[in-house]
Structure 1
């Protein structure tokens, strides 16, 4: 896909969804995985753009979102961290994805993500000063 931009990502999914629907595969059988890392480009920017726009992607296509930032190269490039120490960066990306409405998060460390989501959800479900509460339930899948 090269150095992806938001318009190329959008075009990519429009084409794929049209092709699937043309052979009778309905949207209720689909999960959207926007991909991260080298699939999108050689720098962190396209992956960061996808993560920053997950809620828009989900709203635009009306499909559940699967995201898998776990141990991806863009995180290592961004932080300068090696694979053995990439856990905190992975967890930050996973928590952001959850906060943006990702329905499924594929991870290498389900226990850490589960604990982090438990704390995150406990905080989000507390009343906010504006009278609203936050996020809903999250699903953790393993690699």
Structure 2
């Protein structure tokens, strides 16, 4: 059984080791700050931490693989020593390999094994879980999202199978906020259950503080917690197995109350 498909919703805390994050403005770019923040998220109840050292926001500045790993290395290594389950958010096989050697347990690839031809093999050589996210280079208002999911994920799963990555090590991500209109972002959340049913794999949902809440609610990034919580809890009802979040304590509390209420039935 997939480690993230066991009926429990995993909370993945976000740690951006970048100077240009859309949500936290580089507050955790220094290793000491990133470590402190990661430890605080674990204390708040995070099941695992997702570490990223290259922003994926629109208009981001690409980072060389060596620089990306140099930002991550002191943080990943120390958190692994602390006993934390670490995910590394990268599209680069070089970074993934170094992270896995340092003890990372998850590789979160926003291009679903399709950006770097060596990524699938690097993951296959470990026992790590891989998050395969749907992505697009261009926004197409006429997009048939379900058809595009099928095209993209079929390709990613073909790459995984070819190198021997077992399906019980794969999590899918509908890619909210990546190559989609705001209407398509809403559709991606609402069709999450279809994605889970079609592939029989756990699904990660990550909408934390995203621009859709600015678009629909008129809220700045610092004012998007309510929208984030509502959308994530809706996703859980549709079968999301993991939530990627900035605000860990609030999500842990919301999931606990949801379970308390369900148990009364």
- Asked if residue 82 in structure 1 is aligned to residue 251 in structure 2, the reply is no
> How does the TM-score come out when normalised to structure 1?
0.81
Q: Distance in 1 between matches of 2:230 and 2:197?
A: 22
Alignment-derived partner of residue 48 in structure 1: 186
Q: Distance in 1 between matches of 2:179 and 2:241?
A: 21
Q: Distance in 2 between matches of 1:18 and 1:125?
A: 40
* 8 Å contact kept, 2:174–2:189: no
Alignment-derived partner of residue 151 in structure 2: 11
Where does 1:1-143 land on structure 2 (aligned, <5 Å)? 1=136, 2-3=139-140, 4=143, 5-37=145-177, 39-41=178-180, 43-127=181-265
Q: State the SS of the aligned residue for 1:32.
A: strand
- For this pair of structures, how many residues does the alignment match? 125
Structure 2 residues not aligned, in runs of 5+: 1-135
Q: What per-residue deviation string (whole Å, max 9, x for no partner) do you get for residues 83-109 of structure 1?
A: 121110111111111111111101000
* 8 Å contact kept, 2:209–2:222: no
* 8 Å contact kept, 1:67–1:105: yes
Q: Distance in 1 between matches of 2:150 and 2:261?
A: 33
The structure whose residues are more often strand, as a share, is 2
Alignment-derived partner of residue 134 in structure 1: none
Q: CA deviation at 1:30?
A: 0.8
Q: CA deviation at 1:27?
A: 0.8
Q: Distance in 1 between matches of 2:218 and 2:187?
A: 19
Q: CA deviation at 1:124?
A: 2.3
Q: What per-residue deviation string (whole Å, max 9, x for no partner) do you get for residues 104-143 of structure 1?
A: 101000111111111122222322xxxxxxxxxxxxxxxx
The structure whose residues are more often helix, as a share, is 1
Structure 1 residues not aligned, in runs of 5+: 128-143
Structure with max Cα Rg: 2
